[in-house]
Amino acid sequence: MRKTILTILFVLCGIGRVWAGDEPPTPESNKNLIDLVQTHADYVWTLVAAALVFFMQAGFALVESGFTRAKNAINIMMKNLMDFSMGTLAFWAVGFALMFGATSTGWFGTSGFFLSDFSVGSDPWVLAFWMFQAVFCATAATIVSGAMAERTRFIGYILYSAILSAIIYPVFGSWAWGSLYKGSGWLEGLGFIDFAGSTVVHSVGGWAALAGAIVLGPRMGKYTKDGRIKPILGHSMPLAALGVFILWLGWFGFNPGSTTAANKDIAMIFVNTNLAAAAGAVLAMFTSWIRFGKPEVGMSLNGALAGLVAITSPCASVTPLSAVIIGAAGGVIVVLSVLFFDKIRVDDPVGAISVHGVCGAWGTLAAGIFNIGGTSAKIIGVQVLGVAACFLWVFPTAFLLFKLIDKFVGLRVSPEEEMEGLDIAEHGGNAYPDFEVSSYGGVGIGVGSGSAPVAEEVSSLEPVRQT
Amino acid sequence: MRKTILTILFVLCGIGRVWAGDEPPTPESNKNLIDLVQTHADYVWTLVAAALVFFMQAGFALVESGFTRAKNAINIMMKNLMDFSMGTLAFWAVGFALMFGATSTGWFGTSGFFLSDFSVGSDPWVLAFWMFQAVFCATAATIVSGAMAERTRFIGYILYSAILSAIIYPVFGSWAWGSLYKGSGWLEGLGFIDFAGSTVVHSVGGWAALAGAIVLGPRMGKYTKDGRIKPILGHSMPLAALGVFILWLGWFGFNPGSTTAANKDIAMIFVNTNLAAAAGAVLAMFTSWIRFGKPEVGMSLNGALAGLVAITSPCASVTPLSAVIIGAAGGVIVVLSVLFFDKIRVDDPVGAISVHGVCGAWGTLAAGIFNIGGTSAKIIGVQVLGVAACFLWVFPTAFLLFKLIDKFVGLRVSPEEEMEGLDIAEHGGNAYPDFEVSSYGGVGIGVGSGSAPVAEEVSSLEPVRQT
Amino acid sequence: MRKTILTILFVLCGIGRVWAGDEPPTPESNKNLIDLVQTHADYVWTLVAAALVFFMQAGFALVESGFTRAKNAINIMMKNLMDFSMGTLAFWAVGFALMFGATSTGWFGTSGFFLSDFSVGSDPWVLAFWMFQAVFCATAATIVSGAMAERTRFIGYILYSAILSAIIYPVFGSWAWGSLYKGSGWLEGLGFIDFAGSTVVHSVGGWAALAGAIVLGPRMGKYTKDGRIKPILGHSMPLAALGVFILWLGWFGFNPGSTTAANKDIAMIFVNTNLAAAAGAVLAMFTSWIRFGKPEVGMSLNGALAGLVAITSPCASVTPLSAVIIGAAGGVIVVLSVLFFDKIRVDDPVGAISVHGVCGAWGTLAAGIFNIGGTSAKIIGVQVLGVAACFLWVFPTAFLLFKLIDKFVGLRVSPEEEMEGLDIAEHGGNAYPDFEVSSYGGVGIGVGSGSAPVAEEVSSLEPVRQT
């Protein structure tokens, strides 16, 4: 039966003609077949890459969960499961049309809702392309989750997440990537370089995360009245580290897969991606070593992610040596940025704003500065414009959205629920019922969390207490 | 030396002739080369997909382990490791021959034992095909493990698992898929649609799981004499959630890989798979929200799996919109089914019977109902026949097998061993020796397990106690 | 913009000519295109395989962490993150040139530092090939980490790790694999068979691990003065098991990917890899069952790895039946070897020396013995020579290196730091701050660790205490 279906689909796809021929091959028929085989390779590569990018959802879930407390682990898994699931449906129904629609207002597309570009017998490329774009969209959405961890109402989160996937991400995406399918975009028209989305994906997520963290306010007990910053330790460094390894793996789909074609270019993109990640991890480790006196695990893990985010935009248009420099700089920047946001009391439990927002901006600028074909004030200017456009579109929109949700639905849980943990309060569950879990979130010297320990705190051996 | 080996193999494979030619290319020689390159792409795609399906073993191990108690975690890892390892050897020695043998009794194949279809110099396609089928077989075997968790003797389990891989799964598989290699099958002859195995793989596993759970009886303390149902919470929701993400990833090999060819069809299959999973997760979440008052994590995770199982049969022959509907229905069905089996006191710690048996049946019917080429009473009738044939072959056979094992080997551990935990009793080990693990399996309000909390229980805040 | 970049790269790569043609296709132009499409498939396969091999880093991190104590979990994650990150940079700067340089001293290459073989417009194959080789190099480096776990200073570890990646691994690699890119090697000149690196990768790692374990000495409390061996239990068997599943998955890139070409050979390699792993797991389980009275999880997991290591050399040149035998023997050998090293008081917390060193040697010999094209004393002699050359190069060099590091930097932490755990001492962190973690490393009957419980110990129910 399987064969029958395949045969039917084959014929429907209009390729039966090409293959079926019992007639002797000609150069023309061969050329058609060669194009077809190349197309098959493109499908395989694009979809394998999409699978790897999908897996990043697990990576984000583990990083976020590992860097936060045990009492919120179910909530984090639910948010990550749901932002992908709701996001998939939202991007199918609305987002893809806004981002890549053949007809457009100039600011967003207006056709192709519910994958209506595809029908039986039409070219299935739109499906492969949709799949790859859908997992990208979900990446942007899930980034926000980390910065808003441990205090957000679940209903508020999934509402926001669906709207980001349906509207906020696709609109900016249409400006920078619209022409990849049928649309077009004003930013790419100016020459904006963002090959795999340092800005389109990561900064969009990062600036929305910033808006969310500001509207929510910090977790209870994070910043004391006397001006001290209390580290709140993550509950499982092995899960966080596994998450980073999974993200690194997923990035081998994210960046090289953005060719959406099986070609030789993927090699350089792959190598650049790996070198930048390695350099980011090493430099963040040394930066934390110098700053805190010890090589800190949370910073090192975030350093790898910083390198990956930074190389995402320039991965196809810089040399491997440049990739090392870009990643290394990302590793330093992320440590300083985490400390900065902690200083200004924006509580980001996993460092998402720094990793994705700030390093996304850095990577986008780097794509102009280190451009393999040479750079110019104009190239860099366009990159700056793209970075600014992203911030100016995403931050105010997301800020408004969070304010509206806060007002009409409720964005933050009650202090009692926050203390009890979101797992019980929001989901009636317990992530680790067989284990003795301490209620106050752990003791430690402060450089074991994935987030923002300030140097002053490192010497303090006081446990974190919430009240 | 590596080159030398490759050269030898190359020549052995009989393709040296085609490549080596210094003669000028002709349309005929080019056509042969084009076919060869397409074949290479088919090998790559089929084997990459097989690798993804293999990884589902880790997903099953984590879901099952996360949804059960810490004191049985080693046992679950051992069962999952061994059903794949024993299953691989059993499918190599016996199963593949029964399923795909060139000669056949009409009910099962009778040639190709120990991969004897392959010899030096023969076409290695049988090896690629075997690999893909072997990981499918192991999936069916491992499904049973979850429903029988926390009370099965290890020796009984590996015995049953080897027999399922060697006989029960392959015999049914030959009816529905025999012609994919050299065999043939009566069900596929009637037009039965089961592209990637909602019935062949998942229902086979699910109905064997049902037989096992019935023969074993419920875990101690699960159902009290006064008619109450005690939730027994799983010990790690992060591991369970990671398992679901891994399974979702693996399904991108499972369904699209079932083309065993690199072609354009994989795009629609991929998209349908993803949409159904997303819809299943979302609908299961809302169903649990309505039923229990909170969005429950175990149900949501099982909802994603339900959508995936349901779309497995129809993935290549329905539209994306139908995939959303099929997955969404799966998400509702799985919640109701879990509650039903708990009500009739079939203790299935992870919900495997509902996810794989019931949703497998639903998906197979859906393949008839939503068929892209139109449906008919006849088409649906054949689907019903296939679903019934599966149940009538698997359930009695597995039931008998479990009864025989119970009688001659022993299927269930002693009450003392069950209380102590299978890790110590069966393996002399301790999964978490550095942690304080509570002896009675956790406290909670009952909607944190992956299995069947009934609504009546949700309001009860009583801890689970076993005696 | 993405399209623009692609176009530029396209032209740079010199393939624009071939594709762009509006002229009618000829057999010659078609032949060029066919070669190009095959090349694209080779890139895709090689890089997908590289991604899978990369993921083995996560597998090693989990196995090593799961088999050791909670108090050292951050340290282990940091070592695994850093040996890959430092190793990537070291292999980029130095290692690749020593291993594959076009110019050579006869003992190692002398050109291609910092990927200088690649420049804009040149063939990017060197990048794809580098990527695949870089993840291999990192595998060798990370093997050592397990044997030196729980007592090594972090600074000493990363120093050693960088030198192994830059020098020790590449020099031996050049002898056996140099001709795979531009170099050549004396061992391969003799006909040495090591298709995917049982010796080149695994034994190199294993013998360096042996040197490290000897120089370091055993963990405190492991061997008592009265001659007893205390099992020190690993802290998370689920993480260890997940690690083994990930490694098994990664090996589907490691072995079949070593073709660095999309061809039919990958099928047999894939099947052999899987069969050997399965046989190794099953036989190790039964061996542990006979030896200890129970099927032990650590041994079973290591049995799968033993099978995988053993088949790595012969995977492309033996039949599937031979693969079963080779893997099965590996499963027995690893159990005996673990017991042996414990008896002679070489403390290897995860069994790395046995899995990678000993089974690597076994696999390399097996490649000669079971050679598909027949064997001879000469073939086996060359294999023995290769095994010996590896030991004689790696063990003394690594021994000296560790001694030098010990003397000038310090290789082992202080007894106080070892007791406290490396997480606090070396990284100022706590891997599990929300959980009650016992200070002495767990209680148990001794067959729950991944390492070397001796039978005499199994009956002792005494907890492990350190001091």
DSSP labels for A429-443? --S-TTB-B-SS---
Q: What angle do CA C321, C323, C327 make, to 5 degrees?
A: 125
In chain B, residues with a C-beta closer than 8 Å to the C-beta of C195 are 1-2, 5
CB-CB contact of B355 with B334 (8 Å): yes
In chain A, residues with a C-beta closer than 8 Å to the C-beta of B317 are 5, 8-9
Summarised one tens digit per residue, pLDDT across range C188-221 is 999 999 999 999 999 999 999 999 999 999 999 9
3-state helix, strand, coil in chain C (%, to 5): 70, 0, 30
Distance from CA of C167 to the nearest CA of A (A): 19
SS3 A227: coil
Q: How many CB pairs under 8 A join A and C?
A: 253
Find the CB nearest C30 among B30, B89, B427.
B30
As a whole number of angstroms, the longest Cα–Cα distance in chain A is 86
In chain C, residues with a C-beta closer than 8 Å to the C-beta of A259 are 6
Is residue C434, in this structure, part of any structural domain at all? no
In 3D space, the residue among C237, A84, A59, C441 whose CA is nearest the CA of residue B236 turns out to be: C237
**Subunit contact A285:C426, Cβ cutoff 8 A:** no
How large is the ipTM? 0.92
Find the CB nearest C435 among A268, A282, A436.
A436
Q: Using CA atoms, how far apart are residues C125 and C109, in angstroms rounded to an integer?
A: 19
**Subunit contact B436:A432, Cβ cutoff 8 A:** no
- State the total domains in chain A: 1
Q: Using CA atoms, how far apart are residues B59 and B243, in angstroms rounded to an integer?
A: 4
Is residue A429, in this structure, part of any structural domain at all? no
For the CA atoms of B384, B385, B388, B392, the dihedral, rounded to the nearest 10 degrees, stands at: 180
List, in order, residues 6 or more apart from A312 with CB less than 8 Å away: A195, A196, A197, A198, A201, A202, A251, A254, A255, A360, A363
Is residue B392, in this structure, part of any structural domain at all? yes
Q: How many CB pairs under 8 A join A and B?
A: 254
Summarised one tens digit per residue, pLDDT across range C94-106 is 999 999 999 999 9
Helical packing angle, A320-343 and A359-369, nearest 10°: 150
In chain B, residues with a C-beta closer than 8 Å to the C-beta of C277 are 85
Place of tokens 């690649």: C118
pLDDT, residue C438, reads: 72
Radius of gyration for the alpha carbons in chain A, expressed in angstroms and rounded: 23
CB-CB contact of C118 with C368 (8 Å): no
In 3D space, the residue among B41, B59, B123 whose CA is nearest the CA of residue B254 turns out to be: B59
pLDDT under 50 in chain C at which residues? 1, 7-20, 440-467
**CATH number where C409 lies:** 1.10.3430.10
In chain B, residues with a C-beta closer than 8 Å to the C-beta of C271 are 115, 127, 130-131
SS3 A369: helix
Is residue C465, in this structure, part of any structural domain at all? no
Find the CB nearest C300 among B8, B26, B78.
B78
**Subunit contact B264:A13, Cβ cutoff 8 A:** yes
Is residue C124, in this structure, part of any structural domain at all? yes
Distance from CA of B409 to the nearest CA of A (A): 31
Which tokens go with A240?
């966080």
**Subunit contact C282:B82, Cβ cutoff 8 A:** yes
Chains that touch C (3 or more CB pairs under 8 A): A, B
List, in order, residues 6 or more apart from A459 with CB less than 8 Å away: A445
3-state helix, strand, coil in chain B (%, to 5): 70, 0, 30
In chain B, residues with a C-beta closer than 8 Å to the C-beta of C193 are 1, 5
Amino acid at A268: M
Tens-of-pLDDT digits for all 467 residues of chain B? 455 555 444 444 444 444 445 689 999 999 999 999 999 999 999 999 999 999 999 999 999 999 999 999 999 999 999 999 999 999 999 999 999 999 999 899 999 999 998 988 899 999 999 999 999 999 999 999 999 999 999 999 999 999 999 999 999 999 999 999 998 899 999 999 999 999 999 999 999 999 999 999 999 999 988 889 988 999 999 999 999 999 999 999 999 999 999 999 999 999 999 999 999 999 999 999 999 999 999 999 999 999 999 999 999 999 999 999 999 999 999 999 999 999 999 999 999 999 999 999 999 999 999 999 999 999 999 999 999 999 999 999 999 999 999 999 999 999 999 999 999 999 999 999 999 887 544 433 333 343 334 333 433 333 333 33
The DSSP code for B409 is T
Q: Using CA atoms, how far apart are residues A51 and C198, in angstroms rounded to an integer?
A: 30
End-to-end CA distance of chain C: 64
Chains that touch A (3 or more CB pairs under 8 A): B, C
Mean per-residue pLDDT pooled into runs of 10, chain A (467 residues): 50 44 87 98 98 98 97 97 97 97 93 93 96 97 96 96 97 96 94 97 98 97 89 96 98 98 98 98 97 96 98 98 98 97 96 98 98 95 98 98 97 96 95 80 37 36 35
List, in order, residues 6 or more apart from A189 with CB less than 8 Å away: none
Q: Using CA atoms, how far apart are residues C209 and C215, in angstroms rounded to an integer?
A: 10
**Subunit contact C238:B431, Cβ cutoff 8 A:** yes
pLDDT, residue A14, reads: 41
Is residue A62, in this structure, part of any structural domain at all? yes
Helical packing angle, A265-292 and A237-254, nearest 10°: 150
CB-CB contact of A183 with A102 (8 Å): yes
Amino acid at B129: F
- Which residue on chain C is closest to A459 by alpha carbon? C428
Per DSSP, the residues of C254-295 read HTGGGG-S-STHHHHHHHHHHHHHHHHHHHHHHHHHHHHSS-
Task: Write out the residue range of the structural domain in which residue B47 sits.
Answer: 39-419
Find the CB nearest C77 among A45, A265, A297.
A297
Burial tier of A105 (Cβ tally within 10 Å: 0-12, 13-18, 19+): exposed
Which tokens go with B403?
């009864």
H or E element that contains A390: helix A377-408
In 3D space, the residue among B457, B453, B445, B442 whose CA is nearest the CA of residue A427 turns out to be: B445
Q: Using CA atoms, how far apart are residues B59 and B73, in angstroms rounded to an integer?
A: 14
Distance from CA of C63 to the nearest CA of A (A): 11
Spell out the alpha helix ranges (H) of A148-219: 154-163, 169-177, 186-189, 204-216
Which tokens go with B261?
């060819």
Place of tokens 């997903």: B59
- Residue length, chain B? 467
CB-CB contact of A128 with A40 (8 Å): no
Distances (CA, A) of A367 to A257, A282, C5, C13: 18, 21, 12, 20
SS3 B153: coil
In chain A, residues with a C-beta closer than 8 Å to the C-beta of C6 are 259, 261, 265, 316
Q: Is the full-model pTM beyond 0.80?
A: yes
In chain A, residues with a C-beta closer than 8 Å to the C-beta of C127 are 267-268, 270-271, 320
Chains that touch B (3 or more CB pairs under 8 A): A, C
Q: Using CA atoms, how far apart are residues C76 and C220, in angstroms rounded to an integer?
A: 18
CB-CB contact of B201 with B208 (8 Å): no
CB-CB contact of C200 with C173 (8 Å): yes
Is residue C84, in this structure, part of any structural domain at all? yes
Spell out the alpha helix ranges (H) of B191-292: 204-216, 237-254, 265-292
Is residue B465, in this structure, part of any structural domain at all? no
Best A264, A286, A312, A364 member to test C by mutation, with max C CBs in 10 Å, is A264
